[in-house]
Chains A and B, each alone.
Chain A
Amino acid sequence: MSASLSIRGGVKQFGGNTALSDVSLEVAAGEIHAVIGPNGAGKSTLFSALAGEFKLDRGSVHLGGKDITRHSAHRRVRLGIGRAFQVASVFPAMTVAQNVAAGVLSERRRTHIFWSSRALRRARPEVERLLEEMRLAPFADRLASDLSQGDRKRLEIAVVLALKPAVLLLDEPTAGMSPEETEATTRLVRELWRENGLTVLLTEHDMAVVFGLAQKLTVLHRGQVLATGEPEEVRGRSDVAEVYLGGGEES
C-alpha cells in the first residue's frame, strides 16, 4: 500500500555550503511526483535526506503522517521507503537470485537467523515470482556483476520491490539510457506504480520522461523550492524557464 511522504522546512549544510534551504515538499499517497532542477540544485541531497542517509539540520520528514525525522536509514526502509540509486547498486559477487533473496529476507525480518537456512529456502518462491515480474528469471543464477547496466537496474528494482515499499525513491532512473531503454523504463515505472499501488518520487533530467510520468512536479534551484504543481502549470512559468535557460547547467 502506498503512503504519503513529505519534508517540511528541511535545511542541510555541508561545511559552508547550504545544500538545502527551507525545502518543503508534499507527496500524496499514490502520487507520481518528479523533482527536477539543474545540477547542484540539491536533488540528491533531498533524496538522501528523505531516505535518512543523514540528519537534517532543521526541519522534519513525515511518512504516512508519521514523523520519521529521528529515524535512521534502515528504520525508514522498514517503515516503507525503498530507494533505487542512479548507478544501480546491487551486490556484485552474489547471484541475481541471492540479491533478491536478501531483500525478501529483510522484508520478512529473517535476516538475523544464523542457526538455519530454512528461511532462505522458504524465500525461494517469492524470489522466483519477483524475478518473473522483472523478466530476470533466466539470469537467476548468474552473478549480478555479469549483468548489463539495464538489467542491473531491473535487478535493483526487483530487490527494492522485495521490500514491499510504500514509497519508491528513484534517483535518475533513465540516466545513461538509450531512447528504447528509456521508453521501456518509463513504461516499467508506470506499471509498477499501478500494480503495486506505490507512491513514486523521482528525479530526472530527461523532460520527456518527466512529462510522461509525473502527476506533480517540483523544481529545485540552489537548494530551494522554486515551484511546485501540475507539470503543465509549472512548465509555463517564466522563472522556471529562466533557471533552465539562464543560470545553472542543462542536461
Chain B
Amino acid sequence: MTGFLTLRRVAGLLVAVLVVLFVLALPFMVASGDIFFWDTVAVAVLFATSTNLLFGQAGIPSFGQAGFYAAGAYTAALAAQRGWPVLAVLVLAIVIAAALSAIAALVAWRITGLAFSMFTLAVAQSLYSFALKNGTLGGYNGLTGFSATSVAGVDVTDPGFLWYVVVIIVALGCFGFWVISRSSFGLTMRAIREDPVRSLFLGVNVRGYRVLAFALAGAGAGLAGALSAYVNLVVTPDTAYWTASAEPIIMLLLGGMSFFFGPAVGAVLLTALMHKLMNMTHAYVLYVGILLYLILLFLPRGVLSLSEVARAFRRRLSGDAQAVAAGTAGERAADAADATEQETSIVGRGRTQ
C-alpha cells in the first residue's frame, strides 16, 4: 500500500472531482427543463441518505419516511406562501419533521419487530390522509403559489442558480449524516443493529436511541421535502403515500445500505431509471417491481458491493482453496452475521467504516 494514496482513495477523489465538475457545469450543458430533473435527483439523494440512517446504520426498518418528507414539504409551502425567507423555511421544516418523527417513535415506545414496521406505515398514511382531507393543506390538489426568489441575498429565479443552492444544501445535509455515522452515536447505532440485547446490557437505552435516530432521519427527510417544494413549486398529498416511502428504500437497497454513498448511488440510478421507464411505458411499476425483486435476490448488498462480489467470484473460479478460505473479512462477517437471526436487520453488513 502506498500510504495515503491507495487505489480506493484515488478512485474516490477522482469521482469527487468529476461530481463537482458536473455540478458546476450542469446549467450550461442542459436545458432548464432537464435541470429540474437533476434537482429531483439531488433531493432524492438526501432523502435516501437520511432513510439509510435508520435502515443501514441503525437496522430499523421504517416504511413511513415519506410522511416526514411530506411534513417538511407542506411546512415549506405554508411558510413560503407567507413570505418567509428560504433559509428560515428550511430550518422550520427540519424542526417540524424532526419533532413529528420523535413523537411517532415515542408513541411506538413499546412496539418492536414487524408491528413496528406496520406502525411506521400507519403513521405515514395518517399524515397522507390528514393532508388529503384538510382544507388548509389544499386537499387533493395540494398547495401552490410560492417559490424561491432569493436565498441569503442570492437571486435564484434562474434555474441554474437554484440548482447550485439545492446541491449545496443537499451536500450539507449529507455531510451532516456523514458526521453522524462517524460519531459515537453512529457506533452505538451499529451496535444496536447488530445485537440489541447486548447493547441493552452495555447500558444503552435502546428505545431512547431509536427516538433520536428517528428524529435525525426525520430532519433529513423534512429538509429534502422542503427542497422538493421549492423545486416542484407544488406540494401534493401523494408525497406522503406509503408507496412514496418505498422509493428511498429501493434506492438504498440498489446502491447498498452498508455503504455511506450507497443510497446516493441508488438514488441517481433509480431516478434515472424511472425517468426512462415512465417515458417508455405507463406500467413502469412492473419493471420497478422486477428490479427490486432481482436486487433482493441477487445483489442484496447493492451495486457498490459489486467489486466484492466480483472478487469473491474470481476467487472461487480460480479454485484457490486457501484464498477462498481467507476470503475478505467483510464477506465472512456478512455470512456469519446473516446466519444469526436478526429481526430488525436487513441483509447487508460488513463495512466497518
A90:B198 contact, CB within 8 angstroms: yes
Interface of chain B residues 153 through 205 with chain A (CB within 8 A): 179-180, 182-188, 190-191, 194-195, 197-205
Given A106-B202, A111-B185, A116-B183: A142 in contact with B329 (beta carbons within 8 A): yes
- In the assembled complex, the Cα of A94 lies from the Cα of B184 at a distance in Å of 13
Give the contacting residue for B349; candidates A72, A93, A112, A116; CB below 8 A.
Answer: A93
B184:A143 contact, CB within 8 angstroms: no
A24 within 8 A of B: no
Interface of chain B residues 328 through 353 with chain A (CB within 8 A): 329-330, 332-334, 336-337, 340, 349-350, 352
B329:A143 contact, CB within 8 angstroms: yes
For A, the interface residue count at a CB cutoff of 8 angstroms equals 39
A211 within 8 A of B: no
- In the assembled complex, the Cα of A143 lies from the Cα of B335 at a distance in Å of 13
A102:B180 contact, CB within 8 angstroms: no
B204:A106 contact, CB within 8 angstroms: yes
- In the assembled complex, the Cα of A153 lies from the Cα of B121 at a distance in Å of 40
B205:A113 contact, CB within 8 angstroms: no
A194 within 8 A of B: no
A78:B203 contact, CB within 8 angstroms: yes
A103: which B residues are within 8 A, CB to CB? Answer: 202
- Minimum CB distance partner of A156 in chain B: B198
A92 within 8 A of B: yes
Given A92-B336, A105-B187, A145-B337: A74 in contact with B205 (beta carbons within 8 A): yes
- Minimum CB distance partner of B176 in chain A: A115
A91 within 8 A of B: yes
- In the assembled complex, the Cα of A105 lies from the Cα of B349 at a distance in Å of 22
Give the contacting residue for B182; candidates A72, A73, A117; CB below 8 A.
Answer: A117
A119 within 8 A of B: yes
- In the assembled complex, the Cα of A111 lies from the Cα of B185 at a distance in Å of 5
Interface of chain A residues 97 through 123 with chain B (CB within 8 A): 98, 101-103, 105-107, 110-117, 119-120, 123
Most buried by A among B188, B332, B336, B340: B188
A159: which B residues are within 8 A, CB to CB? Answer: 202
B337: which A residues are within 8 A, CB to CB? Answer: 92-93, 145
A34 within 8 A of B: no
- Interchain nearest-CB distance for A154 vs B (Å): 16
A143:B183 contact, CB within 8 angstroms: no
A210: which B residues are within 8 A, CB to CB? Answer: none
A83 within 8 A of B: yes
- In the assembled complex, the Cα of A93 lies from the Cα of B336 at a distance in Å of 9
B186: which A residues are within 8 A, CB to CB? Answer: 114, 117
- In the assembled complex, the Cα of A89 lies from the Cα of B180 at a distance in Å of 25
B202:A114 contact, CB within 8 angstroms: no
A117:B195 contact, CB within 8 angstroms: no
Give the contacting residue for B201; candidates A73, A94, A107, A119; CB below 8 A.
Answer: A73
Give the contacting residue for A111; candidates B182, B204, B332; CB below 8 A.
Answer: B204
A146:B329 contact, CB within 8 angstroms: yes
- Interchain nearest-CB distance for B54 vs A (Å): 13
- In the assembled complex, the Cα of A95 lies from the Cα of B194 at a distance in Å of 12
- In the assembled complex, the Cα of A115 lies from the Cα of B175 at a distance in Å of 11
- In the assembled complex, the Cα of A102 lies from the Cα of B199 at a distance in Å of 9
- Interchain nearest-CB distance for B67 vs A (Å): 22
The 7 A-B residue pairs whose C-beta atoms are closest, nearest first, are A77-B203, A114-B185, A111-B188, A145-B336, A93-B349, A91-B194, A89-B198
Known: A74-B201, A90-B195, A92-B336. 14 other contacts (CB 8 A): A92-B337, A93-B349, A102-B199, A105-B188, A113-B183, A114-B212, A114-B216, A116-B183, A117-B186, A119-B184, A123-B184, A142-B329, A143-B330, A145-B333
- Cross-chain pairs A/B with CB under 8 angstroms, 30 sampled: A74-B201, A74-B204, A74-B205, A77-B201, A83-B201, A89-B197, A90-B195, A92-B194, A92-B333, A92-B336, A93-B190, A95-B352, A102-B188, A105-B188, A106-B204, A107-B203, A110-B184, A111-B204, A112-B209, A114-B180, A115-B179, A115-B183, A117-B182, A117-B183, A119-B184, A120-B182, A120-B187, A143-B330, A143-B332, A163-B203
